[in-house]
Chains A and B, each alone.
Chain A
Amino acid sequence: MSDTTVTHGWEHQDKPRVQQSELLEINMGPQHPATHGVLRLLVKTDGEIVQSVTPYLGYLHRCAEKIAEGCDWRQWMVYTDRFDYLAPMNMNFGYAVAVENMLEVEVPERAQYIRVICAELQRIASHLIAIGTFGLDMGAWTPLLYCFREREEILNIFERLSGGRMLYNYFDIGGVRFDAYDDFAEEVLFMVHVMEQKIVEYNTLLTYNKIFIERTADVGVIDAETCYAYGCTGPVLRGAGVPFDCRRDDPYSIYDRFEFEIPYGQGEQGTVGDCWDRYIVRMREMSESCRIIRQAVDGMPEGDFMSPDLKKLVKVPAGSLYTRTESSKGEIGFHIIADGGSKPFRNKVRSPSYSNLHVIEKVGPGMMISDLVATVGSLDIVLGEIDR
């Protein structure tokens, strides 16, 4: 067939037609497995190359900030659970610390230690989901199942502690709602022991897998300047090579008593701030969380789990305060304005995923569609806290 004359159909034209593709608008979401929730990304593409990304939010909006005006200070704790439903303990922690800072109430030692253990266990559980689903986005099914297996063990501990498997409502202003059960310390230590072994297993399964590195290294690079400008925090900021962590740099609760490292991206497989760096930061943070938990279990005293001098109906003195804590996704901030009454005047939530997702508008253009999926996966967003 090689000698057959091919007619293109444009021979009658003076100029050969330039091959030109048109911009195509694709909806990624609202129902799409790679958007990690009910998020719609309007993607304009030129062939495989992304020209612009516009996120559309609000599918999970529940007006939690308006509801706060009708609840008393304690009642609103249950809504913080529903922000980041993969890390409710961290959300509870942020709100409890924010209100306690304004009340200037002393939280009993035992409650402080239980809180730290819960928050760090929750951080591991949340990172397990982040890693598992990120692997799933990259086509690795198996690690997800292993991650869920370990997360299940953590949820079992939380279930014995609080009665809930997903939304705990466990922290309270001035302490925690229930005391730890008798063999809590043993169960947590066993969990940590298992977890430390499993991290090695994940590394062999996923971290240094050739295909996984090819898909994530040098992809979706977010540098430190962009992180500052777009307000990115947590593993996204640390992945960009900035060892910043509220637990160490703006200490709250009793985090100044523990020894732990802040892992940050160093560009081991490519550029600093690529998807692999954000992934490995989460992986190493799990080991550091295990370290913190071991120290916290060692130091946990007996005593009250709830501040005895706090009245049932909390009244916060008038004033305004922005308090931030480190959740598994980044900096969760509560800007609280009180008017001296028993209800919040204004509770504004600055959620980490909100700012972390915003950066996709900046880094998205110019990458391949498949890399966009990788980048969104590596940001580890939860739509519950974006839409609130």
Chain B
Amino acid sequence: MEPNAIHDLLCAKLGEAALEYVDSYEKGTVIAAAKIAEAATLLRDEPELHFEQLMCLSGVDWDGHDAEGKGKSVAILGYTEEGKPELSDRVGDGDLGVFYACYSHRHGHKYSLFVRVPRDAAEVPTVSHLWPTAAWHEREAYDLVGITFTGHPDLRRILLEDGWEGHPLRKDYQMPAQWQGVPLEGRSYAANPFNEADVVLPTKPEGGQG
């Protein structure tokens, strides 16, 4: 089916929960967060859609993005001539988002779903009962971006240590100064530009056989 036909079908079945059609590189529909499980059920079970495979699920921190999709990649506006970062003052107030990419082996078509949730109430219903593969991807999104998936059977960190603080892929993430007594030198790349004079080459040991 053509992407806009899929969008029309979603609109007909979900009503106002299908918010808008995304016609960018990726074709898809923005769904109200509370209705994502219904939308996913439709995509999977409707015979003419039949998206039996969830290719990808990614959590996104949209912080710094304005309505036109323009923004800064990191919490840094730019660099001064000395290479010092100039920090953005609007970090930490953007939405979080989830992206679902589905593929149908039967019909050979693709479609995407998008969800946006406010940062202070980042809760999205799980789709892991529909596509079991989502269970691990949702755990990853929880671990790295900090989105809570309600109804998930086993929502805990997957890549980081259980006791880790914060969610690294958030744009306002601050690396802890130490972890279990080990100091972490969380310095940004831009603040430490490469300088050839700093490189210490290993010297040949005197009197040795090497």
Contact = CB atoms under 8 A, between A and B. Distances in A.
Interface of A: 57-58, 61, 63, 65-66, 69-71, 101-102, 228-231, 242, 244, 249, 318-322, 324, 331, 333, 335, 337, 339-341, 343-346, 348, 350, 354-355, 358, 362, 387-388
Contacts of A340: 69-70
Contacts, number: 112
Given A70-B190, A101-B25, A58 B55 contact: no
A388 B143 CA distance: 14
A339 B72 contact: yes
A125 B60 CA distance: 35
Given A70-B188, A102-B25, A229 B131 contact: yes
28 contacts: A61-B159, A63-B168, A66-B169, A101-B25, A228-B52, A228-B105, A230-B132, A231-B133, A318-B68, A318-B70, A319-B24, A319-B26, A319-B69, A320-B24, A322-B55, A324-B55, A333-B55, A333-B56, A335-B101, A339-B64, A339-B72, A339-B73, A340-B70, A341-B72, A344-B73, A348-B99, A358-B135, A388-B159
Given A229-B52, A320-B24, 14 more contacts: A58-B160, A58-B161, A61-B159, A66-B173, A231-B133, A244-B105, A319-B24, A320-B26, A345-B73, A354-B136, A355-B133, A358-B135, A358-B136, A387-B159
B188 to A, nearest CB: 6
Contacts of B135: 358
Contact of A350 (B52, B55, B64, B74): B55
Interface in B132-167: 132-133, 135-137, 144, 157-161
A138 B55 CA distance: 32
A385 B188 CA distance: 24
Interface in B40-68: 52-56, 58, 60-61, 64-65, 68
A232 to B, nearest CB: 8
A70 B65 CA distance: 17
B5 to A, nearest CB: 20
B24 A57 contact: no
Instruction: Name the prevailing secondary structure of the A interface residues.
Output: mixed
A319 B171 CA distance: 18
Contacts of A69: 73-74, 171
A322 B160 contact: no
Which of A101, A102, A318 has the most chain B CB atoms closer than 10 A to its own CB? Answer: A318
A340 B65 CA distance: 11
Nearest to A61: B159
Contacts of A350: 55-56, 58, 137
Contacts of B169: 65-66, 346
Most buried by B among A230, A340, A348: A348
A321 B56 contact: no
A322 B133 contact: no
A316 to B, nearest CB: 10
Given A57-B159, A320-B25, A321-B26, A335 B70 contact: no
B83 interface: no
A343 B75 CA distance: 12
Contacts of B190: 70
A310 B199 CA distance: 32
A21 to B, nearest CB: 27
Contacts of A231: 53-55, 131, 133
B133 A230 contact: yes
Contact of A339 (B61, B71, B157, B168): B71
B55 A331 contact: yes
Contact of A322 (B101, B157, B158, B168): B101
B73 A335 contact: no
A77 B54 CA distance: 26
Interface in B153-197: 157-161, 168-169, 171, 173, 188-190
B29 interface: no
Given A333-B55, A333-B101, A358 B71 contact: no
